[in-house]
Structure 1
Amino acid sequence: MRRTTGVLVGLMIVATAGCSGETPEENTQEACSAAEQLTVALDNFDMTLSPGATVDEVRDARDTVREAWQELDAAADDVAQDRGEALDEAWEDFEQSVEDVNGDATIKDAADSLRDDAVEVQQARDALADDLGC
C-alpha cells in the first residue's frame, strides 16, 4: 500500500516536471500544485516510518520527497521570475510614461496617468516582496 502511494506521487511529479506555464497565473498554479505534492510526499514518508518498514521503503519514500521538493523548487523559481518580469515591465511602463509627458504640459495634466503607472510598480513590487517573504 505504501509503495503504491509513493509510486502514484512519483508519477504525479513526473507528469508535471519541467512544465513551466505560459502565464504567471499558470506558474503560480503549478507552484501551488507542487507544494501540495510535497505535502503528500511528506505524509507518505511519515506513514512509511512504521516498525515493519524496510530501509529500502524508507529510502524510496525519501526519493519521492526529493522529487516533490525539486518540482516545487523549480516551480517557485518560475513564480519568482514572473514576479521579477512583472516588476521590470511595470518599471519600464512607468519610466516611459514620465518620458512621454509633453514638456509644455503641467503636472496636473499628467498626474492621474503617472499615478496609475506608479501604483502598478508598487503592486508588482509588493507581489515580488510577498513571494520573497519580505
Structure 2
Amino acid sequence: MTTVDDARASLSASSTIEEINVARDDVRGSYEKLQEALVEVSRDRDSALESAWADFDKAVTNIDPNMTIPDAVASLQEEVAGIETAKQGLDKSLACS
C-alpha cells in the first residue's frame, strides 16, 4: 500500500495530532479500496469454482450408461482439470505473500 508507505514516511516525533489523523484517514481510504478489490477477486474465484463444478456435475450426469468405466473416467478429465484450475486460483487468492 503506497499510502501506508507515505504515512510511515511523513509521520515523525514532530507530527501533530492533525497530521496523524490525516494519515490515518488516508490509510483508511486505501484499506477500504483494497477490501473492495479483495471481495471482487474472491467473488471471481468463487464463481470460477462454481462454474467448474457445474460443468463437472453436468458431464457426470450426461455420461452414457453404456460406456466402460475407463471411458467414462477419461471423458471427465477436462472437467476435473477445470475444477483443479479453479481451486488453484482460489488458493492463490487466499494465500498470504
With structure 2 as the length reference, what TM-score do the two structures score? Answer: 0.86
Deviation at 1:108, TM superposition (A): 3.7
- Sequence identity of aligned pairs in percent? 33
2:68 to 78, 84, 106: 106
Which is greater in Rg? 2
1:32-111 equivalent positions in 2, closer than 5 A: 39-111=1-73
Q: What RMSD in Å do the two structures reach over aligned CA positions? A: 1.7
Give 3-state SS (helix, strand or coil) of 1:104's partner.
coil
Distance 2:69 2:5 in 1: 59
Unaligned runs of 5+ in 2: none
Deviation at 1:90, TM superposition (A): 0.1
Question: Which stretch of structure 1 is more off in the superposition, 122-131 or 74-83?
Answer: 122-131
- The answer (yes or no) to whether the contact 1:48–1:58 under 8 Å persists in 2 is no
Counterpart AA for 1:42: V
Report the count of equivalent residues: 96
Counterpart AA for 1:127: G
Give 3-state SS (helix, strand or coil) of 1:53's partner.
coil
Deviation at 1:98, TM superposition (A): 1.0
Counterpart AA for 2:51: E
Unaligned runs of 5+ in 1: 1-38
